[in-house]
Structure 1
Amino acid sequence: MQTQRSRVVAEAKSTLLRTLLVAAFLRSVASTSLPVQTSPHVAGAWQNNLTTLHERFQHIYQTGALSDLTIGFSKDNTTVSVHRLVLSVSSPVLEPMLTGPSPVGKDLILQDSPETFTKLLDHMYVGKMDLQSVEEALRVYATSYKYQVHSADKECSQYLGNQLTANNTLIIFEAAVDYDDKELQDLCVKMMNKDPDAAIAPASVIHLRKETLMGFLKSELLVSSETLMFDAALAWGRAQLSHRGEEPSSSALRKEVEELLGEVRFLAMTCEEFIDSVLPSGVLHPVEAINLLRVIRGADMSLIPEATPFSPSQYARGRNVKDLVKFDTLKCSGDSQYKWKNSPGRRGPYINKPYKFKAYTGSQPTP
């Protein structure tokens, strides 16, 4: 018992001694004057000359300072030095590629146009782009939509809305549907209503997809003459043949626009319009042209073969583009608020169906 008490007392003394030694050491350190280490002033440092975060990001973008990634393009030898952090915080598509479990190395090769992607980089780094044309804005919009840079989408949309004219409305509307840009779609609709003849002019339609043009041919766009719809279909067909390097012969053109012609209301034309605009094109077979002209002049519809693939409507287009609702024949249509309204009226309840002539009586054609 006495031995155990002695051991406890010895351990307590030892612990007290160690504590006193540590306290003495700390007092000696506290009493010692140590020189303060300071960094020398860096004269002319770029960080000190740029007062805002915007200016600093612009500097590292333009000079490539502190970059940790090089982007190359498959279409040419252009390269640009960028920063993973900037691209990752801008694009949820690029983030996993650059900072995910298996990030790319020092180089990233993209399939995009270098000019277009560089415009997108401008937005990522400094928050704005210097867009120069509608065509450029459409290309950048497609790229920003691909990489889900929604702030750049908005900038492109605002630019396109400010550049809207009757002549470019259709191609912008097509893009607005693709990207589910409802605000831009509404602006396009308003422009179409102001000048429908210019909206459907040949120069306006040649770059459209077929399904987009088909939608407008099915619509009640209030054009001044049905010949404008016919001319639009032919202009689109000739552009497709030219793009493929084919001769625009009458037979080739007819084959190219066969489906589109089914939506042209030949019977709503006057005899003069049909003779002056349709006959010279040569896309109709002589028998078709004669029969159509006879019906235009008042002959019975039963004279026209049932298999003739043209619209039976004898009514001019009477509704305007406000009759657009969800347009399911356009690309990305499931997310769009527009398609051509399929409701009874001057055009009848069959506007989304293929047309074949049939005999009818009364004010509406028989389906």
Structure 2
Amino acid sequence: MAAKDSEAKSGFADNWQRGKSLKECLRYSLQQNSHCDVTFQVGKDRKSIPAHRLILTLRSGVFEAMLTGPLAEQENIALPDIESDIFEQFLIFLYTDDVILDSKNAIGLLYLSKTYDVTPLEQKCLAYLESSISSHNACVVMEQAHFYDEHDLKVKAVKYICENGNTILKSPGFSDLCHSCVLEITETDELVASEEKVFEAVNAWSEAECRRQGREITPGNKRSALGKALMNVRYCLLGQQYFVDIVSPNNLLTESEDITILKNFVSPDKSVLPFKKEPRCRTGKTITAKLLENFIENMYTPYSGDYTTVFCVNQTCALQGFNITDGSSGFSAFVCDEDTGVAVGETSDGKRTGRLVEFPDPVRIVKDKKYSLVVKCHGEHHFHLSKLSDIAEDGDFACRFLYNTPSVYHVVSSLVFHV
């Protein structure tokens, strides 16, 4: 009763401020629209979001210019190109310095922090994006870093895209990139991807760009949209059948360019300018990790068989292929994550040069993770009983072979990595 009398005498019947910190009071005043003196009409639905001029002008010089002085905007300010929920999170940061970043809001909050020159939030957004680049957002992060000239963030995004080329090139985000970013990705030697995936990606991008420009999707318009990016595909590294069945019918190349590529298939020494024909990732190093050491016995069987090699490496790299023993006939091969059992790469016979079998797409191998290469031989084949290596080293690179026993037979003699 005494407390109620005290409140009545003081004139504060609803003292919501009692016991709250400054941050809590500011958050409450924003969420309860207490004493607000400016309203933003946000998003396509023009949602009304009240705020306080004083807080906004204290946190942002851009808001200070907007909200004070003779040219100040009035009480209702339209922001139609901003999502209302992102703007509300932005205001909470201005009032409290609190923000919870995730994959759904980081890009939008980065845009607002740049637009209104709120450096503390900008730094938080950049740090979050640098630490959370994935196959789902790598292209978006690269595009934003390019737009805002954030060099370090762009370098990290491009590195991730190059290391995961086959996955990124077929992602929807690639088709949303600007022409400059498409050029940068497709021309680099560091891109770990098959040329088939590169061609399919630039073809899909050209169609998306025609739609963005409101132009009919024709070979001529697609070629015009691509510009130099069309020349970044290394057509001589495509399979001949793929070129004849898929590339040529698209009519992106002229008849003369088609003939140049076809001639190179027959005579590889012929020039293909202005196209490149050097393999990508040529700035790295190819390492052969030998599994079989001392030959003990060569065996033959008319039956099918499965052979497993479990390994891990001390550097993230690409598994380009493997060498097989003499006489091994038809087979299929799978590379699986040993912990999850999920296949991360596969081939059926693959591209064979002597004993070397190459995967259609280089398989990304992550440092210190365990992988199993399973080779399934179909019908008659030879296999070896040999002394097995525990580790194969080349400079700083090391590949460890796990669970090897002398009684295990193998058709794989070595693994071929690009580091």
Aligned equivalent of 2:157: 188
Q: How does 1:133-212 map to 2 (within 5 A)?
A: 133-134=103-104, 136-212=105-181
More helix by share: 1
- Structure 2: gaps (5+ residues): 1-7, 285-419
More strand by share: 2
Aligned equivalent of 2:225: 256
Q: Summarize deviations over 1:214-255 as a string: whole Å, max 9, x none.
A: 111221223232222222211111112234555433343233
Structure whose alpha-carbon radius of gyration is higher:
1
Aligned equivalent of 1:42: 12
Aligned equivalent of 1:106: 75
Aligned equivalent of 1:313: 276
Letter in 1 for 2:94: M
1:178 and 1:254, CA in 2 relative to 1: closer, same or farther beyond 3 A? closer
Shift of 1:212: 1.0
Q: Summarize deviations over 1:188-210 as a string: whole Å, max 9, x none.
A: 24423542322333533101001
The ranges of structure 1 where at least 4 consecutive aligned residues each deviate by more than 6 angstroms after the TM superposition are none
- Structure 1: gaps (5+ residues): 1-37, 305-309, 322-367
2:97 to 127, 132, 149: 127
Using the size of structure 1 for normalisation, the TM-score is 0.66
Aligned equivalent of 1:217: 186
Q: Distance in 1 between matches of 2:13 and 2:275?
A: 82
Letter in 2 for 1:113: I
Shift of 1:61: 0.5
Using the size of structure 2 for normalisation, the TM-score is 0.58
1:189 and 1:244, CA in 2 relative to 1: closer, same or farther beyond 3 A? closer
Shift of 1:82: 0.7
Q: Distance in 2 between matches of 1:177 and 1:52?
A: 40
Letter in 2 for 1:253: K
Larger deviation, residues 147-156 vs 93-102: 93-102
Does the 8 Å contact 1:172/1:188 carry over to 2? yes
Shift of 1:183: 4.4
Letter in 1 for 2:78: I
Aligned equivalent of 1:356: none
Does the 8 Å contact 1:144/1:153 carry over to 2? yes
1:186 and 1:241, CA in 2 relative to 1: closer, same or farther beyond 3 A? closer
Does the 8 Å contact 2:165/2:192 carry over to 1? yes
Q: Distance in 2 between matches of 1:279 and 1:81?
A: 59
Shift of 1:87: 0.8
Letter in 2 for 1:316: P
Please say if 1:298 is aligned against 2:267.
yes
Does the 8 Å contact 1:64/1:81 carry over to 2? yes
Aligned equivalent of 1:83: 52
DSSP-derived class of the 2:61 partner: coil
Does the 8 Å contact 1:217/1:263 carry over to 2? yes
Does the 8 Å contact 1:242/1:248 carry over to 2? yes
Please say if 1:118 is aligned against 2:88.
yes
Q: Distance in 1 between matches of 2:144 and 2:177?
A: 10
Q: Distance in 2 between matches of 1:104 and 1:173?
A: 34
Aligned equivalent of 2:247: 278
Q: Distance in 1 between matches of 2:159 and 2:254?
A: 38
DSSP-derived class of the 1:128 partner: coil
Q: Distance in 1 between matches of 2:24 and 2:228?
A: 55
Does the 8 Å contact 2:219/2:250 carry over to 1? yes
Q: Distance in 1 between matches of 2:47 and 2:137?
A: 31
1:167 and 1:77, CA in 2 relative to 1: closer, same or farther beyond 3 A? closer
Q: What's the RMSD between the two structures over aligned residues?
A: 3.0
Q: Distance in 2 between matches of 1:311 and 1:131?
A: 45
Shift of 1:77: 3.2
Letter in 2 for 1:313: K
Q: Distance in 2 between matches of 1:41 and 1:162?
A: 52
Does the 8 Å contact 1:69/1:82 carry over to 2? yes
Letter in 2 for 1:271: Q
